[in-house]
Amino acid sequence: MPTTSSASLSVLVLLIAAALAVLIFYYRRDQQRRRALRAALFQPAYDLFQSYRVVQERADFPVLSGRYRDHDFAIDAIIDTLTFRKIPVLWLRVSLLRALPGVAATDILVRVQNNEFYSPANDLAFQLPVPGHWPPGAQVKTEDPDQAPALDLLDRHIDFFGAIESKEMLVTAKGVRLVRMIHQGERAEYMVLRIADFRAVDLKPEILAEMMDRCIALADDLAKGSVK
């Protein structure tokens, strides 16, 4: 017959196994919930596009490839937990895929903290002077000062940074990109569990449309050959 100690050990093992099963159940349920919520990020804006394709890896935010006003766009959302703030941030990246021959990669960043991992700024060797009326703390870097867009051209589009959420404007020979904050993480979960969750992201179609319109307008100016 089993001793009292061995019977108690068996019960303990069963209780641990049951607890693990419950934890796994809740983890999988939360992952499925998070995936479903994130998958719907761009759903309110689908009607903006002539055609679109959405791809999602695991529980990540999806990537949308779409056709808008006869232009091709790649749009995604980047989770940022590296900046020196109490809660994580979700950045929206809107990239217009359009050939702009002769345009050197040039990046404008505001509120620079030197940990913008989603930006190529640290890889651009030359820093350009910033006009005094541009946002305080703005940084302009380029791979080639001789082929960078003229500052007066960029000046016509600098009002993008009029919104405090706006973060980056990038131009390259392959297109242009704008970056803007669209949400902050859940404070309680991040402070206690360090989970960068975003449960109530509400991407307004008008915000996305404005960013795409700005990309097209900037690319149109760049295509006219207004470089130094």
**DSSP per-residue string spanning 200-213:** -----HHHHHHHHH
Which of 82-86, 99-103, 156-160 has the least mean pLDDT? 82-86
The C-alpha atoms of residue 118 and residue 24 are separated, in whole angstroms, by: 33
pLDDT of residue 40: 82
More confident residue, 85 or 73: 73
Least Cα distance to 158 among 182, 178, 129 occurs for 178
Mean pLDDT across the stretch 195-223? 88
pLDDT of residue 88: 83
Least Cα distance to 73 among 97, 55, 93, 39 occurs for 97
Do 162 and 149 touch, CB atoms closer than 8 A?
no
Arithmetic mean of pLDDT over the chain: 84
b/e for 49-63, b at 16 or more Cβ within 10 A? beebebeeeeeebbb
Sheet holding 71-80, edge to edge: 51-55, 63-68, 71-80, 89-97, 175-184, 166-172, 106-109, 139-142, 126-128
What 3-state class would DSSP assign to 23? helix
pLDDT band at 228 (very low <50, low <70, confident <90, very high): very low
The C-alpha atoms of residue 188 and residue 86 are separated, in whole angstroms, by: 10
User: What pLDDT, in 10s, does the model give residues 102-150?
Assistant: 999 999 999 988 888 899 998 999 999 999 999 988 999 999 999 999 9
- Residue 158, Cβ neighbours under 10 Å: how many? 18
pLDDT of residue 227: 41
DSSP state of 149: B
